[in-house]
Chain A
Amino acid sequence: MSHHIVEVRDLRFAYPDGTEALKGISFRISHGGAVAIVGGNGAGKSTLLQHLNGCLTATSGTVIIGDTPLTPGTIPRARRCVGMVFQDPDDQLFMPTVAGDVAFGPLNAGLPPDMVEQRTASALERVGMTHVRERPPYRLSAGEKRAVAIATVLAMTPDILVMDEPSSNLDPRARRRLIELLLSFEHTRIIATHDLELVLEVCTRVILLDAGIVVADGPARDILGNEPLLLAHGLECPYSLRPARPR
């Protein structure tokens, strides 16, 4: 059995106001892959991600993590397995210090203090943020906050990393660091983003969503190089894949 597998079967979800955000989504992501979920605004990307660790409960359909279907009883286990990096790091960082925030997950998992400290130190080192460990999170720059938010999740040693718009609001240098970091992970990575150049560098597979359904699922270069398909669904070809046009 592998914990690294994520499978979604005919997932449907409607918000309380009746908006149908997901209309029957199915896919399977196996061990160690890096998969991008792309689509225009309102395509259902964030809603889909929030189903993967039980933040939202599907109207119908199944989410399977490893070989366990997500149910109210299995959610705590799934949350240890699926690390979620939220779109806005300010939502994710709530303790008075960076170290306190990174230690929050391991402490809740009931680990002994020395192991909590070891996990905290190694997660902060992994993202290059050891120097800010005693600072309050709200005083960090956007890039530092993002890195610390990733550390808070790494400290829980998840098998699967789920990230919502990880490169938004980052300057080019911070974005580059993020890409290097994403490339260095061996986890199964699921990344929802509009940053298609990042997708080209990090992901091998792309799932294209529009209006709550999967409209394409395949190798990243094939989908991101298909200009008519992308234009039809509110996206455009990444610059590096655009055919040269006469000026």
Chain B
Amino acid sequence: MGATDWIEIGRMDDLARLDTPMHRLDARAKIIVTLAFIGVVMSFPPHALSALTPFLFFPLVLIYGARIPMGPIVKKILLAMPFALAVGIFNPFLDRRPVLAIGPVTITGGWMSFTSILVRFLLTAGAALALVACTGMVRLASALGQLGVPRVFVVQLLFLHRYLFVVAQEGRNVLRSVTLRSSGTRSLNLGVYGSLTGNLLLRSMDRATRVYRAMMARGFDGEIRLVHPHQVRWIDGAFIAGWLAFFALGRTWNLAGGLGHWLTGVIP
């Protein structure tokens, strides 16, 4: 098993090579819709919860439409989860106003906003990961360039992605050599870890330099070119228009609340 399998970076590229209607959509259309999605989800007030639920529809449609298995997406969401937890963890202690009572349980504003942060994180991280998995990093980078993102950022993004593999590979080699010579001891002193990290950094930099030279040797000038540049089709426009309309509806009215009200109104 290679280092890249270990952290499953390569898995996203594998998924991006599938051929589904979702994969065939123009990368620019998917980027525009995903950015709009993230913007709208983040714009809800801090305690919003039920109004956010219809937005789950977008990442799920991307994931199922592109036939992406849930496993890799969930794993990566869990990997980033501590950051979202760190952002919201103090809210329940800071905001103790009761805002909702379900039977004997009183829910405070802090818990509501903490849950809202987690839901937003799940939605936005899920959508961004689904976007990468059904588009691929090279197509994404090329589309960002076409959308007017400065070339220096696009190239940074592409190199960041490429060097993740490099660092993972080097990290794997260093860890293996430590394990082989640590005689089963699990805890090594801080000094050893310090020099390991330094070593990993230097090795990765050397390797990154060699990769960069190989790219320059084949005429790389900062612009990402694709073998089959995408032609915009009517379906790409429909994809953008349809989702933007849905997001506008979801932002203006609480669709979940409305549906519940309608259902409870009809069924006594």
Contact with A along B204-247 (1 / 0, CB 8 A): 00010011011111111101011111000000000000000000
Cross-interface CB contact of B221 among A108, A134, A136, cutoff 8 Å:
A108
A227 sits at the interface (CB 8 A): no
Whether B16 pairs with A108 at a CB distance below 8 angstroms is no
A-B pair count, CB < 8 Å, reads 76
Q: Is the CB of B210 within 8 A of A79?
A: no
Contact call A94/B136, Cβ cutoff below 8 A: no
Contact A108 B228 (CB under 8 A): no
A69 to chain B minimum Cβ distance, whole angstroms, is 19
Given contacts A100-B138, A107-B227, contact A156 B210 (CB under 8 A): no
A110 — nearest CB in chain B belongs to which residue?
A: B225
A55-B213, A88-B210, A94-B162 known; A156+B138 contact, CB < 8 A? no
Write the nearest CB–CB distance from B150 to chain A, whole angstroms. Answer: 19
With a CB–CB cut-off of 8 A, which chain B residues contact A96?
13, 16-17, 136-138
Task: Please tell me if B54 contacts chain A, counting CB pairs below 8 Å.
Answer: no
Do B214 and A92 touch across chains, with their CB atoms under 8 A apart?
yes
Q: Which A residues are CB-close (under 8 A) to B219?
A: 76, 79-80, 105, 108-109, 156
Q: In the assembly, what is the distance between CA of A180 and CA of B58, in Å?
A: 54
Asked whether A53 is an interface residue with its Cβ less than 8 Å from the other chain, the reply is yes
Residues 62-94 of A at the B interface (beta carbon under 8 Å): 76, 79-80, 83-84, 86, 88, 90-92, 94
Whether A117 and B13, one on each chain, are in contact in the complex, defined by CB atoms closer than 8 angstroms, is no
Shortest C-beta distance, B98 to chain A (Å), equals: 52
**Closest CB in chain A relative to B97 CB, distance in Å:** 50
Of the candidates A86, A99, A113, A120, which one forms a contact with B214 in the assembled complex, judged by CB atoms under 8 Å apart? A86
Q: Does B10 contact A (CB under 8 A)?
A: yes
Q: Mark B135-174, 1 if CB is under 8 A from A, else 0.
A: 0111000000000000000000000001001000100000
Query: Is B14 interfacial (CB 8 A cutoff)?
Result: yes
| Whole-angstrom CA separation of A34 from B91 in the bound complex | 71
| A55/B4 contact (C-beta < 8 A), A91-B210, A94-B211, A100-B138 known | no
Does any Cβ of B come within 8 Å of A97's Cβ? yes
Tell whether, in the assembled complex, residue A94 and residue B17 are in contact, meaning their CB atoms are under 8 Å apart.
no
* Interface presence of A6 (CB below 8 A): no
**Chain A residue at minimum C-beta to C-beta distance from B162:** A94
Cβ of B10 to closest chain A Cβ, rounded Å: 6
Tell me if A79 and B138 are in contact (CB < 8 A). no
Does A50 count as interface, using CB distance less than 8 angstroms?
yes
How many Å from the CB of A124 to the closest CB on chain B? Answer: 13
Q: How far is the CA of A80 from the CA of B219 in the complex (A)?
A: 7
Counting chain A CB atoms within 10 Å of each CB, which of B162, B169, B219, B226 scores highest? B219
Range class of the B interface residue count: 20 to 34
**Is A13 interfacial (CB-CB < 8 Å)?**
no
Min CB gap B58→A, angstroms: 25
For A97, list chain B residues within 8 Å (CB). 17
A79→B16 CA distance, assembly (Å): 32
Which among A88, A108, A138 is the interface contact of B10 at CB below 8 angstroms? A138
Question: Please, which residues of chain A bring their CB within 8 A of the CB of B14?
Answer: 136
A99, closest chain B residue (CB) = B227
Contact of A95 among B2, B138, B223 (CB under 8 A): B138
Contact: B218 with A104, CB < 8 Å? Answer: yes
A116 lies within 8 A of chain B by Cβ: yes
A152 interface residue per 8 A CB criterion? yes
CB of A54 to closest CB in B, whole Å: 8
Decide if B228 touches A113 in the complex (CB within 8 Å).
Answer: yes
A86 to B136, alpha carbons, bound, how many Å? 26
| A103 beta carbon closer than 8 Å to chain B | yes
CB neighbours of B221 from chain A (8 A): 108
CA distance A53 to B210 in the complex (A): 14
List chain A residues, Cβ under 8 A from B218. Answer: 79, 104-105, 108, 152-153, 156
Contact at A108–B225, with CB atoms within 8 Å?
A: yes
CB distance from B15 to the nearest CB of A (A): 11
Minimum CB–CB distance for A74 against chain B, Å? 14
- Cβ-defined partner of B213 (8 Å) among A50, A80, A120: A50
Contact of B17 among A88, A103, A108, A134 (CB under 8 A): A134
How far is A136 from B219 in the complex, measured between Cα atoms in Å? 21
What is the bound-complex CA distance between A164 and B219, given in angstroms? Answer: 19
Pairs across A and B, CB under 8 Å, 6 listed: A86-B210, A91-B214, A94-B211, A136-B13, A138-B2, A138-B4
Given contacts A108-B220, A136-B14, A138-B4, 13 further A-B contacts (CB under 8 A): A53-B217, A55-B216, A86-B213, A91-B207, A91-B211, A94-B162, A94-B215, A96-B17, A108-B219, A113-B227, A113-B228, A117-B227, A139-B10
Binding site for A on B (CB under 8 A): 2, 4, 10, 13-14, 16-17, 136-138, 162, 165, 169, 207, 210-211, 213-221, 223, 225-229
Nearest 5 A/B pairs, CB to CB: A108-B219, A105-B218, A107-B225, A91-B210, A92-B214
